[in-house]
Structures are given as C-alpha cells and as structure tokens.
Structure 1
Amino acid sequence: MATAPSPADLPGTAREVRLTALPAGLPAREHFAVVETPLPAPAPDQVVVRNRHFLVFAALCSLIGGAEGLPLPALKAGDTLFGPAIGEVVAAPDGSALRPGDLVQHWLGWRDYAVVPAAGCTPLDGTLPDPVAHLAPGSAAYGALTRYANIRAGDTVLVTGAAGAVGSLAGQIARLLGAGRVIGSTGSPAKAERLVSELGYDAVVLRGADRPFAEQLAEAAPDGIDVVLDNVAGEQLVAALGAARQGARFALVGTLSGQLSQTRGGGAPVEIDAFQLILRGISLRGYTGADHPEVDGEWTARLGEWLRSGAIRLPYTAVAGLDNAPQAFEDLLGGKHFGTVVVEP
C-alpha cells in the first residue's frame, strides 16, 4: 500500500545543479553551481524521488540562452537544469499507484531528490535488464531507421557522430535491421578503434583529420551510401549527400555541429545541391520522437530482447557524485566520453 509522505521521513533539503550565468560561448564548469535548497513538501498528487542516475546531454547547449523553436523551455541564469532521470520513490500519497521503493523515470534530473507529479513518472517494469538503458537515447535512432530509412538487406549505412549516445547504438541497430556495411564518423582515433572493435563498425571516418572528410568517406564507401543517420549536419551532411547512391534515404536526428559551436544556437546551415537530390531521388527527412509516440514502447521491447541476447551493447560512462555533474557536461561537450553519459548523484 502506498504511504502518505511524512515530513519526518523526508530530507529537509535537496542539492541541485543551477546555471549561474549565460556563457558567451560553450558552457563550462564555471557557469554552474551545485546548491542546497529546501525540499518542498509534496502536494497530494506528487511523489518524492531519490535520483539514482540522470542523463548528461548536449542539447542542453541549445536550451541555455534559448534557441528559437525548441520543444523544451529555455534555461536562464538561476534556473535548475533538468533532463531524463531514473530514481527511487521514497514517498507517495495514499491512493497512488506508485509505492516507496518503485523505480521510475522522470524529467527532473540534475538533483539528488526531486518532487515530481505522479503523472510525470513512468514506472520501470523490468523490460530492460539495466535501468540506465532507459536513459540511453536509442529510441531516436531506432525510430529514424525504421520509419524513415527503411533499411534493406545489404545496405551501406553511414552514422555521423557515431561515438555519442545516439550514434553508439545507431550503428548496431542498423546492423540488426539488415545493413551490410556500417560506417561511422568521429573526431577521435581512440573512439574510432572502439567503434570497430567493440560495436562492429566496418570503417570509421575521422573528422578533423589531415585528409578531407569527403575523401575519406569516398574511400570507406566506394560504392556509395544507401542510408544516413545524421547526428551532426554541417560538412558531414554535405559529404554524405555527395556520396549518396540512387534512392538514398537520409534521416536527420541531431545537429551537433551547431549545438557544439560557440553560438550554441543548434542551427547548422548547409549548402545543398537540390538538383542532385532530384536527380538521384534522395529523401531527406528530420525525425522527432513526438511525431511517432508509438516508437518508445516498441524500441524498449526490442532493446530488452537485444540486451538479454547479447546482440547489442550499451556503452555508457557513469560519473559519481552530483558535484562532478558540471565537469561531466563540459567533458561531454569536449568529446571526452564514449556513448551515453550519466551522473549518479
């Protein structure tokens, strides 16, 4: 039976990460502070959650300062950061379907304790063997590859930003869906080696290498590319369009080249030869999960099966301690991590 939250059983304060100043360029550790604040008493429709893990993600760059047209609220100086989190319910009101001890997913990460509307919590049912897997943003890659890319047996697939949270899963998903050759891009030789040795990529193109990106891509895909899962945009998208085969399908899920620029706007303008798109019948579509609400459940079920069978790996970095969260964010933006990054407060 659920129990009403008792003030005597709850911590009086919580710790959270706040944005202290709007940066002129990319956010860094000095633009954040970990502060202690009173934990508000939960309302009758709220639960108190002790966070176990929360996601560190690059899209916060676009929220800081407020790029236009974003589906999430902008962050201003003094605001507490937010994002996907997994936590344990420590108090729930009478009559709630949630009980103390339940693991739930919610959107009030970047703090150790959170008072969350019960309706904003999704209970974890054991479908995934590791709770952290609920925070890995593979749903976007899976949805884009199944709804827009329509991978066919033997296709050559390019995943840009392959060592990130989305890309580290996207290449594996493409292979499981029937891709014959999977190529990734990254800016680190060490990450390139891991993409091949650990995640099964056939070739990796290095951003910022001595040779032009387009030249490397032509060598990695001499017969052209059938499918692109693009996390980056910018010059990598242009190069991929140049290497596209007849009828190639492009699914765009991110714009890291814009999000990680000094402007932080998230925009990534590119010059595209529309004539070539027409001539080669190339499709170019942006994917958002909000347009495909059925994908999350489908992805979670398949990911659970793939994880248990060993068909897919979930690379992630766990950073211990809320005090280390600002540095984890700075390191993520600097390309120091491989796969998904989570903080264990």
Structure 2
Amino acid sequence: MSDTAVFERELVFRTPDFPLDVSIWDNHPDYPEITHDFCEITLILSGTAFKLVAGREYPLKAGDVFALHGAIPHGYRNTRNLKVVNVTYDPSLLGNVEFDVGELPGYQDLFYARTNGEGYRVMHLDLARLEEVQKLSRAIEKELHPGPTRRRAVRYQDRKQTSVENSEPLPRDRGCQFMAMAHFMNLVGLLSRWRFYKPKLVSEKIMNIERALDYLEQNFAEPLDHLELARRVGMSHRNFHRIFHRITGLTPSAQLQRVRVKKAAHLLQTTDKSVTEIALQCGFADGSYFTRCFGKQIGMTPRHFREKGSEAAR
C-alpha cells in the first residue's frame, strides 16, 4: 500500500545493537495502517478492537495473542477499552541463538508461516496462560527499563517528538540484556508450545462474568453492592474484580455506568420524560452528574442528544 505510513525503528529500540523492547498501551486508540522493519508479539489484556492487516479486519478480544511481521501493513479500528502489551524485536535475535528454536512445535507456524500471504498469526489463551506470558513481558520490560516509570507505546502522530526525546540511546548493560533475552526466549518457547492449544470456548469464570453482566443489565437502576454481586456469581470479591476487569476492560462500577447511560439514551429518544426524571429512573443521583457521565460516554449533552434524534426523525 503506497499510502501506508512507516514507523521508524529508533522510536522502538533505545539500544540500537539490541533490538528488543516492551511497551504498554493502557487505552489503545484507533491507529492508521503502518509498516516497520521489525516484528512484534502483542498481548490483548482487555477490551476489544478490529486489527487491520493488509486491508483485512480481524476481531480482537482479551486473551488474544498475535505475532506479526512488521512489513505487513497493520493498524487498529474501533478500539474499546483496549489494553495491550507490545513485545517488539528484530528476528535476527532468534537467529543468533545456539539452540534450534525452530524445533519447538508451533514455532514455524506462529512466527514464520504466512497466513494467506499476510504474515499474521493469532491465538487465544485462557486467563492463566495470558497471565503467565504477561509476567514474562513485564520481566523483559523491568530488565530493559529498570526505573519506576513504565515505557508507554508511541502514538503515530507523536513519533517526531518522541524521536527527539529518544535521541540519546540507553547505556549498554549486557547483564540486563542477557536476562531480557532469557525471558524473551521463554516467552517465544511457551507461545510456540501453546500454538495449537484450544481453550474451552466457555469457561466457568467467563460464564460467571456473563451472569454478572446480565445482572447489571437487569438491575441497572439499583445501587451496586460489589460484595453481593460477587457472591451472586459464586466468586470471591477479589477474584471477581480481577477477572471482571480482565474480560471487560472495566470495573463493575464503570460497566454499570455504561449500561445506565445506554438505557438513558434509549429513554431520551423514546419518551417525553424530562432529563432529570430519566436520570433518576436510570440510577443517577442527580441531573448534573448524569449530564457529565452522559457527555463523557456519548460526546454530547442529553438535551442535544434528544434534539438530534428528533431532527433525524423528521
């Protein structure tokens, strides 16, 4: 694609002679299709999106892990609460390893086989396996960036500014690089072994979260009791919150707020009730708080939303 943007290598690798790094997106935005001359392993920790690869779209969700050749145009569309970890590397790193990583089952298919000529492979991990590879990516990051501040991924539109900020390479630390490489090889090895693993389509934990989501949909106007909601689905409070956030990308409170705003939007377009009446009916304590929440989620005030709906109906 002639109009595809090129993402520069120096934005990703602060140590030119050691092309391995990890970066984090806490809320990944939509992204134009780009190319680069390195590879990446991406872990989808929460949220949803469509991955654009060579003009085609692939749905992504929490638990998905994909390996991609950077020369293939790729981007993101329709991202929602998307949290990802990118492990970026030059494939020459693997070629320098004495042991034959290619003998691992699944390695050739995941990291080198070209899917429909696109060089893109995606696999899905259950929560336990996803947590394991996330720990490995965090271990790589801590070796290469030992300070308290995590390295954030670079938005395409910010790349020039970041290039200036990253102009000074990090000092070489061969000991840390050795440990980072060890964790990276562990990551590659596990993903290769798990390449053909098929998790259960519906696990008990996912079913529990689905039950919680259904409860919030049906009881959206009621105050949220976190302990009671966890009890209803048969989970401990701590475990429930951790898995709920992992699957949905939101806390139960934030999910409930989204449901309430959605219900309110429906009432604004289908009834003549006042904004204050609708706010109270949907569980908001007062009209001003409702207006702030509605604007944050919908992008306009409730009254403007109602007016736009009336105009469209004419």
TM range (shorter): under 0.3
Choose 1 or 2 for highest CA Rg: 2
If each structure's helix is expressed as a fraction of its own residues, which one has the higher value? 2
* Higher RCO (C-alpha under 8 Å, 6+ residues apart): 1
| TM-score for both structures, normalised by structure 1 | 0.22
If each structure's strand is expressed as a fraction of its own residues, which one has the higher value? 1
